Every structure is written in structure tokens, then in C-alpha cells.
Amino acid sequence: MSNKKSTAFIWDESYFLHDAGDGTLYEPAGGYLGADCPVEKPEIKRGVKNLLERSGLLGKLAHIPPVPAAREQLEYYHTARHIEAVKRMSIKGGEDCGDSAIVGQGSYEIALLSAGGAIEAVRAVVGSGEIDNAFVLTRPPGHHAQADGGMGYCIFNNAVITAKFAQKELGVKKVLILDWDVHHGNGTEDAFYEDDSVLFISLHQDGLEPAGRGKMEDVGVGKGKGFTVNIPLQAGSGDAVYRYAFEQVVLPAAERFEPELVLVSAGQDGSIFDPLGRMMLSCEGYRYMTRAVKEVAGKYAQKRLVVLHEGGYSEAYVPFCAHAIVEELSGVVTDVMDPFIYAMAGTGYDELLPHQKNKVDEIRRYWLGS
């Protein structure tokens, strides 16, 4: 019997030391806003690692230590000006490298390690074939970061850097990036908006952050037209709505594209308990999406799948959502159950209402005609 571990979990204690700044929600303290801990706090992702350890699941996963991303790898997407600005700010700490993307003391090196963890995951999945898939506890997150500046807690765009690494250094031609963070992955979209070698699919809450981004009509331009698929879902969408969106849009688009590598920007801020979103996903919703994308990777990409943690701001609930994702990736079942599922009774989190179905149907028709 083989002792090969099919799934890797990549993290580093440094990830929990990144200082995203003190404030109230996503605004700096001052005036009428009293100082509070930010919603993007290390305890959330530390809780993910701790739950995996306590359940025994961590011991059944391969551990691959992250290596800092090289400067030239950052420059696959980011400008030298942005990189140098982050490096400079990191010496003193407490500065914003764009729009609500605080660089703490030493954050430059931690951000290199965050991007590097994603790179090492892809290297193991594609380059060496050591593992089938991986979950990377990336912090700081990345999907909002743009070429010339950070945004929304994101300093460097881990998904973009990793996709370009796979193409430039490992010879991967076609990459699917699926982003199910409750906020639109504007930085990732910008990187590939004119590119037909990357299919970017984003499910997000309609009209949330960033303002004006992630519209159904945004499908790419030039040779990239049709290779961006935006699925803006109405506030209050839960497990059933996401399943329907997968069945009607995500899976058909992925199957048409036939990716060689699948990356997931796996925010867990679409949960019913998240303070920054108004969606109603449960742990089982995240489990379903993971199962579906794992099947896509198995069918087209030789199982090569890397999941990157993005947002998620419920300290109590995110660890259980992430645990469900990792269970599904690894195929290992533990005794961990959703401790809050009882509180969702009567909320309609697993219902597909007519207006929600109509919205997804509209998106499907637009996608098919784009």
C-alpha cells in the first residue's frame, strides 16, 4: 500500500506575523472611528492551521515549506515601482501601498513568502508531480493587487504571479483561475483581460467591492474576449445558488476551455457569518465547490489543482470552511462537523429562489453569446 500523500498544505508562521494595520473594518482609525483590530487579522488563518492540526488532518497532508518568490517572478506582473515601494515601506511599516493595503514592518519579506508558497505548490503539482493538489494558506492575500499597487489587504497578486510562473517556467499553456471570494478579483482580471491562455471565472456578490467591477458584461477584449466570465450573484445567495451557477456556467466554461492547471482564489467571505459580505454559503457549499473543481482538474489537468486562501473574516467560521475544503481535496474524512449549521435553519441558505435562478440564467445566456 502506498504512503504517498496526494494533498499538500503550505503555510509558514511568518504568514501570521504580517501586520495589516489597526482600524475599524477596512478604514483607518481616527475621527469618529475608534481603533479596533482589522477584520484581516492573523488569528483567522492561524485558526485554520490549528483546526487542521487538532482534527488530525494536518498529519495526513504533505508539508512543503514555502520559499520566497524571486524578484523576477514578482515582475511577471508587478511594476518595479510597486515592488520598490513595498520594500521601502516594509522597513518602517504602517504605510498603505495602494488602497487599503497596509504594509507592516517586515511585510515585504512575508509577502514574498506568501507568493512563494503558491509557486512552490504549483512546482510540486506540475513540475515534480509529487502531489495532486495543494491548499496554500496565503497571507497576505492577493486577488485585488494590481500591477502598480496593492488593494484590499492584497500586496502582491499571488494567483497572477503563480499562473505566469506556471506558463513561463513550467511550460503550462492553459490555466483556469476560479475566484469564489465574495469580492471581485479585479487585479487578477486585469492581468489576463486580453489573454486567451487564462480563463478567469469569478463568482462574487453583485455590487460589492471593488465598486463597478465584475459586471456580467465584462468578458475580456481582443484575443481575450470570452476568456473572462463574471458571475455577479445577488446578496443572499447561498449553497443552492452557487451550485446552480456552477452547473450552468462555471463547469461548462471550464470544460470548453480544457485547462492544464487549475488555480482557485478561495475566499471564505461568502459565508453566512462573514462581516464584509452578505452571502449565505455554508461549509457544505465550500465542500461542493471544491469537489466540482477537483473533478474538472481530474478530467482535464491531470489532477493539478492549487487552492489559494484569499479573504474570509469570520474568526469562528472560516476555519471550518477551510477544513471542509481541505477534506475534499485530500479525500480524508474526519469527525469535524459544522458547529453552526443549526443556526442557518430557516434562512433559506440552501434554496434557489426564482429571482436567483433567473439571474444565473441571464448570466448563462450572456456568456453563451459573448
The answer to whether the CB of 221 falls within 8 A of the CB of 189 is no
Q: In the sheet that 228-233 helps form, which strands lie side by side, from edge to edge? A: 62-63, 7-10, 133-136, 305-309, 261-266, 175-179, 198-205, 228-233
Show the CA angle centred on residue 159, arms to residues 154 and 163, nearest 5°. Answer: 150
| β-strand partners of 323 | none
Q: Confirm if 137 and 15 have CB atoms less than 8 A apart.
A: yes
Catalytic residue among 144, 183, 184, 309: 144
How many Cβ atoms sit within 10 Å of the Cβ of residue 32? 6
- Rounded to whole angstroms, the Cα distance separating 194 from 221 reads 5
204 catalytic residue (yes or no): no
Helix (H, G, I), strand (E, B) or coil at 201: strand
- Burial of 303 (C-beta count, 10 Å sphere; 0-12/13-18/19+): middle
Residue 266 sits at φ, ψ, to 5 deg, of -100, 75
Identify the helix (H) or strand (E) that includes residue 74.
helix 71-74
Please, which residues have CB within 8 angstroms of residue 201's CB and are 6 or more apart in sequence? 176, 177, 178, 179, 229, 231, 249, 250, 253, 254
Contact by Cβ (8 Å): 14, 113:
yes
Query: What residues form DSSP beta bridges with 202?
Result: 179, 230
* C-alpha cell, 23: 482600524
Strand partners, 134: 8, 306
- Read off the DSSP letter of residue 124: I
CB neighbour list of residue 311: distance below 8 Å, 6 or more residues apart: 40, 141, 153, 181, 182, 183, 267, 268, 269, 276
Residues that are catalytic: 144
